[in-house]
Structure 1
Amino acid sequence: MGGMSTGSLERTDLDGQDPHRDVEATTSEANPPEVSSFTSTVPSPRPATRGPNGRFVGTGPGPRPQRLAEDLPTDRYLERELSWLQFNERVLQLAADPTVPLLERARFLAIFSSNLDEYFMVRVAGLKRRIATGLAVRTAAGIEPRELLDRIARLAHELMAQHAALFQHEIRPALESEGITIVRWDDIDAAEREPLHHFFADRVFPVLTPLAVDPAHPFPYISGLSLNLAVLLENPKTGNEHFARLKVPPNLPRFIRIEDLTTDDGSHVRRFVPLEDVIASHLDQLFPGMDVQEHFSFRVTRNEDLEVEEDDAENLLTALEKELTRRRFGPPIRLEVEDDMDPKLLDMLSRELQISDREIYRLPTPLDLTGLWIVTDVDRSDLEYPKFFPRTHPDFAPTESAKPTDLLAAVRSKDVLVQHPYNSFSTSVQAFIEQAAVDPNVLAIKQTLYRTSGDSPIVDALIDAAEAGKQVLAVVEIKARFDEVNNISWARKLEEAGVHVVYGVVGLKTHAKLCLVVRQEAEGLVRYCHIGTGNYNPKTARTYEDYGLFTCDPQVGDDLSRLFNQLSGFAPRSRFKRLLVAPRSVRTGLIELIDAEVELHQHRAEGAPPGRIAIKTNSIVDEGIIDALYRASMAGVQVDIWVRGICAIRPGVEGLSDHIRVRSVLGRFLEHSRVFWFDHGGDPQVYIGSADLMHRNLDRRVESLVRIIDPGHLAELSGLFDLAFDEKTSRWDLGADGRWVRHHVDDTGAPLTEVHAALIERHDKRRRKARRR
């Protein structure tokens, strides 16, 4: 790693949907609940001599490096909520980039919309709730709650206006020029409308429920994120005006594909019409005897955060199911309307929904551009990123016999570090669990499940293992946000198959990514382990960048056994050797590693390289860790932060963070892995795992980080940081003023290196090299 010592390691290069989502939970930032003690062995903050594990240990009593905050500037934190909006602004910049393939630009528009929906449902809703209940306090960045709400609204209005304009004036015309057209009802002739009349009669009309508003019909409930039509009617007999609401069915495609046109040159024009246009053209059938005066589309966003009491863990599934039925009745927090909506209708909507003008977003139609996913599914590979197929990791590649590799035997011979999506999930993690499920010598499988797909082969493999008589434990986090319904479904499916399903520790979400396989072998029981940074989900593994370590190291096996015992039973005094485990030791462990880096930097030999810390994370907001990194910078340690989403650390401030660099990489894949590197005087202390540097992860979740010790793996991770912090790499840099600046071309206008393209090439190169051996 450039400037990052790897000791005696030989330097080697890396041989060869809804993505980009980053919204944090809104539960209170109060003290975590009292739970079993999750403790870990961590480096001492006063290194002087090496202990039996090869780490520095303290020499006795003495003051710890100062970590108090009194002498640090009060404005040292950036505002996390505004930082998240800046993250989504970076997504929007990708949509605006003409060098990005056109369909990918449209997908980034859809991602932006989906991200913002969740942000309002969770972050804005939580802030409003805390203000309403009197629990909101000044943020760590020093902003009063109501001022923050105002600033969020201003920035959100700006971004949503930019988003709509980008679609209307750039993406939509560009799609049309490529023969992909979103047409309105008035743009198609009578013959083309005929199949849509049949579609409406057969598929739409039966499920529509027009709801009138008058003294006998109160204003209807408007469900969250539903697209609706506000219809203004007139009774021709009395001349009275009436209002009606129609919900656009969410189980039908957002855009309806109509018959393609063939141009004179033989090319096809793929055409889509918004579903609300089809409905609006048939309003006379829904309100016979009434004159339709006007109609406008609108959309409401509601608070969809969940609050479930967990005192009775046995009834957690039942409690969550009840809470899910209440989720759709949360208070409104955003109203999106057509920019030319009739003022009388808008006034009635805002009054009935009890929503302020600040929460009204006037936009051009069509609303809800999350539906662009349907449009981007057209078969136009020339408008997408080049085709990419994950490769089997060389250590798991089949031999010349073409028989599937015995993954347990491969792990027995050496630790294996995989990186998705460059390394195939199906031929590594999935195959590992599937082979263990059918191996007659495997006695037990223990697995954490946070988010997985409804038809997950992982779930199927665990069921197969249980039905084969193996002991199978699944620690299921059914409260993974917005996946609760699916998680409840497959949790019950596992239970019915005889899998021991538990829900972790009361008061904590289980976010750690762990799998433990216990196998009977000639010399006794051997434990095979997988510890990852991403979910056991084969679908997201194709677009989320994540690491996973396979090992049968006895220390890791013992650590995982203890941790699973804590999650499924009672083991309050467990200690760990190669793991850091939240909520008890990830924050303290990382801070002590930071302090140790400072100590080694200050006592390094003359001419020795300075200390360096490199962190790759989705978000960093934890004040304790940020302050420790400021201390490291003030001591002269180089600190490099690679963050995807929220960032509260302020780099480049003279006297505070001169030695801190912060970068962000967005693009083809969603950067999701968490990596923590400490040079440690030439003996790198490096961890990967599931924890982001946020209060929720460090205080209210069970998270795990595992130390990486294999020299080849350390070189690979070193190469990853080298690539990200190379000045020739495309990225966003964060300035001391809190602004992100994109660097994607050099001084001559030539494109800089894209991280994801470079890693595809590196992994392909490593694969080719392995084949030649």
Structure 2
Amino acid sequence: MPKQSNIINRELSWLSFNHRVLQESADKNVPLVERVRFLGIFSNNLDEFFRVRVATIKRMIDIQHGKQRVEGIKPQRLMNKIQKKVLNLQNLFNATFNKLLNELEEHGIYIINEEVLTKSQEKFVKQYFKEKVRPVISPIMLHNIEDFPYLHDHSIYLAIKLSCSDDPTVKEYALVEIPTDLLPRFIEIPSKNGKHYIILLEDIIRSSFNELFSFFKFDTFAAWTIKLTRDAELDVDNDVSQSFLEKISKSVMGRRTGQPVRFLFDGEMSKDLLEFIIERLGLDEDNNLIPGARYHNFKDFMGFPNVGGKELEYKKMPPVGHPDVQGNKSILDVMREKDFMLHVPYQDFNIFISLLQEAAIDPEVTEISITVYRVAHNSKVINALSNA
């Protein structure tokens, strides 16, 4: 009998950690809206896990070094374990989300789709589509193009099947990118009955397929959400003619065209459309084909709006200042006198931003060294450093 390893593989351990994040969504001691946001944190974590850690394992499989192991486990076997655990977490995630939908309804908050709209709600949605959504989306008809459209890593898409009711053999496929970089994912529909109704951006698009495809002869539409995750590992080559900064910049740009490492799709998706997309993208089982529910890119749920009472989220705790940094006093002058510690988020993070801004314009500062692990999309840190 082979000796059992006492080492817990770090990738499987990380998935257990993210499982604990998901458990926060089921914990009734956590305010309800915060629990919904924990779904977003779980999803965002998992996206990064596939972009970096799973991408590395996939590269090891592709290299096919038979003796290569990851903490005692062969890469392919580890990938199988990861996929099994991810599918189990996906099922738990879907069950948790459905429970949260019921609890939200108990508090008068309803996440609805295009199939249950009232006349007044439909009027609002149609107008919103016409004014806000239609100008920023462009459907791509898939049968008439030689190369399949490039799917962006952080985006979600509606894969659409168009057909004619009088002749089902006439069909077409189309793709629409959901413009969450331009419009909010969650739209509250005005209500007069004291209840709060939220519809997702992709469902607003679903509601207006007749208008979106008005130039075609199709009258029957079905759509499912898909998402592709790409390899985001950095490749730094040994070109001696390039500076380290140039190598890193080139590697970061290469992330945009990384190889697929995960394909998420609606489990109810039409089989013929699913097979068409998988074939055109050149995907196989090694790309972690993962069936899910109606919605993807749950990372957006980190910003789920609280349209109910204050008790549904944590009380806002404004940060305090620092006794050594008051008013317009120079932070560099304070540091010349003594060291001081800044403890965020309890103390104001803007003190650190002020330090970077001051250092960026101080002629006596010749170099700023900082280790950056993760920054916001519109980062104050990067903005301050770019001025240096």
Q: In the alignment, which of 81, 85, 94 is matched to residue 151 of structure 1? A: 81
1:290 equivalent to 2:217? Answer yes
Query: How far does residue 100 in structure 1 lie from its aligned partner after superposition?
Result: 1.0
Query: How far does residue 102 in structure 1 lie from its aligned partner after superposition?
Result: 0.9
In the other structure, the counterpart of 2:365 is 471
In the other structure, the counterpart of 1:421 is 345
Q: Structure 1, residues 724-748: CA drift from partner, whole Å, max 9, x if none?
A: xxxxxxxxxxxxxxxxxxxxxxxxx
Label 1:343 to 1:238 Cα distance change in 2 as closer, same or farther (>3 A). closer
SS of 1:475's equivalent in the other structure is: coil
Q: Which moved more, 1:114-123 or 1:324-333?
A: 324-333
State the alpha-carbon separation in 2 of the partners of residues 472 and 311 from structure 1: 28
State the alpha-carbon separation in 2 of the partners of residues 135 and 481 from structure 1: 32
1:260–1:269 contact (8 Å) kept in structure 2: no
Q: Structure 1, residues 291-347: CA drift from partner, whole Å, max 9, x if none?
A: 234221111111122213375596455544444443222222212212211111122
1:270 equivalent to 2:199? Answer no
Query: How far does residue 183 in structure 1 lie from its aligned partner after superposition?
Result: 1.1
1:179–1:270 contact (8 Å) kept in structure 2: yes
Q: In the alignment, which of 210, 219, 230 is matched to residue 159 of structure 2? A: 230
State the alpha-carbon separation in 1 of the partners of residues 173 and 333 from structure 2: 69
Label 1:463 to 1:378 Cα distance change in 2 as closer, same or farther (>3 A). farther
Overall identity of the aligned pairs, in %: 28
SS of 2:191's equivalent in the other structure is: strand
In the other structure, the counterpart of 1:251 is 181
2:357–2:384 contact (8 Å) kept in structure 1: no
Query: How far does residue 117 in structure 1 lie from its aligned partner after superposition?
Result: 0.7
> 1:191-210 to 2 correspondence within 5 Å?
191-210=120-139
Query: How far does residue 488 in structure 1 lie from its aligned partner after superposition?
Result: 11
State the alpha-carbon separation in 2 of the partners of residues 385 and 215 from structure 1: 51
State the alpha-carbon separation in 1 of the partners of residues 217 and 142 from structure 2: 14
Q: In the alignment, which of 170, 173, 184 is matched to residue 113 of structure 2? A: 184
> 1:295-310 to 2 correspondence within 5 Å?
295-309=223-237
1:257–1:270 contact (8 Å) kept in structure 2: no
Structure 2: gaps (5+ residues): none
Aligned residue type for 2:347: N
In the other structure, the counterpart of 1:78 is 8
Query: How far does residue 171 in structure 1 lie from its aligned partner after superposition?
Result: 1.1
1:211–1:245 contact (8 Å) kept in structure 2: yes
SS of 1:229's equivalent in the other structure is: strand
State the alpha-carbon separation in 2 of the partners of residues 205 and 366 from structure 1: 21
Aligned residue type for 1:284: N
State the alpha-carbon separation in 2 of the partners of residues 366 and 225 from structure 1: 14
Label 1:376 to 1:485 Cα distance change in 2 as closer, same or farther (>3 A). closer
State the alpha-carbon separation in 1 of the partners of residues 155 and 169 from structure 2: 31
SS of 1:474's equivalent in the other structure is: coil
> 1:104-183 to 2 correspondence within 5 Å?
104-134=34-64, 137-140=68-71, 142-168=72-98, 170-183=99-112
Q: Structure 1, residues 551-590: CA drift from partner, whole Å, max 9, x if none?
A: xxxxxxxxxxxxxxxxxxxxxxxxxxxxxxxxxxxxxxxx
Q: In the alignment, which of 191, 205, 219 is matched to residue 261 of structure 1? A: 191
1:337–1:362 contact (8 Å) kept in structure 2: yes
Q: In the alignment, which of 252, 261, 266 is matched to residue 338 of structure 1? A: 266
State the alpha-carbon separation in 2 of the partners of residues 312 and 257 from structure 1: 51
Aligned residue type for 2:128: F
Aligned residue type for 2:217: M
State the alpha-carbon separation in 2 of the partners of residues 215 and 259 from structure 1: 37
1:272–1:375 contact (8 Å) kept in structure 2: no
SS of 1:326's equivalent in the other structure is: helix
Q: Structure 1, residues 336-372: CA drift from partner, whole Å, max 9, x if none?
A: 2122111111222222233334722222222222222
State the alpha-carbon separation in 2 of the partners of residues 377 and 313 from structure 1: 53
More helix by proportion, 1 or 2?
Answer: 2
Query: How far does residue 375 in structure 1 lie from its aligned partner after superposition?
Result: 2.3
Query: How far does residue 198 in structure 1 lie from its aligned partner after superposition?
Result: 2.6
State the alpha-carbon separation in 2 of the partners of residues 485 and 256 from structure 1: 20
State the alpha-carbon separation in 2 of the partners of residues 371 and 408 from structure 1: 38
Aligned residue type for 2:386: K
Aligned residue type for 2:121: E
1:310–1:316 contact (8 Å) kept in structure 2: no
Higher Rg of the two aligned structures: 1
State the alpha-carbon separation in 1 of the partners of residues 346 and 110 from structure 2: 34
In the other structure, the counterpart of 1:461 is 358
1:110–1:372 contact (8 Å) kept in structure 2: yes
Number of residue pairs aligned between Structure 1 and Structure 2:
381
In the other structure, the counterpart of 1:280 is 206
SS of 1:258's equivalent in the other structure is: strand
In the other structure, the counterpart of 1:493 is 386
Aligned residue type for 1:472: T
More strand by proportion, 1 or 2?
Answer: 1
Aligned residue type for 1:201: K
Aligned residue type for 1:289: F
2:356–2:384 contact (8 Å) kept in structure 1: no
> 1:356-505 to 2 correspondence within 5 Å?
356-357=284-285, 359-378=288-307, 380-393=309-322, 396=324, 416-426=340-350, 429-430=351-352, 456-465=353-362, 469-475=363-369, 490=383, 493-494=386-387, 499=388
Query: How far does residue 216 in structure 1 lie from its aligned partner after superposition?
Result: 4.5
Give the RMSD, CA atoms, in angstroms.
Answer: 3.3
Label 1:355 to 1:488 Cα distance change in 2 as closer, same or farther (>3 A). farther
State the alpha-carbon separation in 2 of the partners of residues 484 and 308 from structure 1: 24
State the alpha-carbon separation in 1 of the partners of residues 381 and 281 from structure 2: 32
Length-normalised TM-score, structure 2 = 0.85
Label 1:334 to 1:195 Cα distance change in 2 as closer, same or farther (>3 A). same
State the alpha-carbon separation in 1 of the partners of residues 377 and 328 from structure 2: 35
Label 1:325 to 1:408 Cα distance change in 2 as closer, same or farther (>3 A). closer
Label 1:211 to 1:339 Cα distance change in 2 as closer, same or farther (>3 A). same
State the alpha-carbon separation in 2 of the partners of residues 193 and 262 from structure 1: 15
Label 1:380 to 1:214 Cα distance change in 2 as closer, same or farther (>3 A). same
Q: Structure 1, residues 26-80: CA drift from partner, whole Å, max 9, x if none?
A: xxxxxxxxxxxxxxxxxxxxxxxxxxxxxxxxxxxxxxxxxxxxxxx87232110
Aligned residue type for 2:200: P
Query: How far does residue 203 in structure 1 lie from its aligned partner after superposition?
Result: 2.4
Label 1:321 to 1:366 Cα distance change in 2 as closer, same or farther (>3 A). same
Query: How far does residue 286 in structure 1 lie from its aligned partner after superposition?
Result: 2.9
Label 1:482 to 1:344 Cα distance change in 2 as closer, same or farther (>3 A). farther
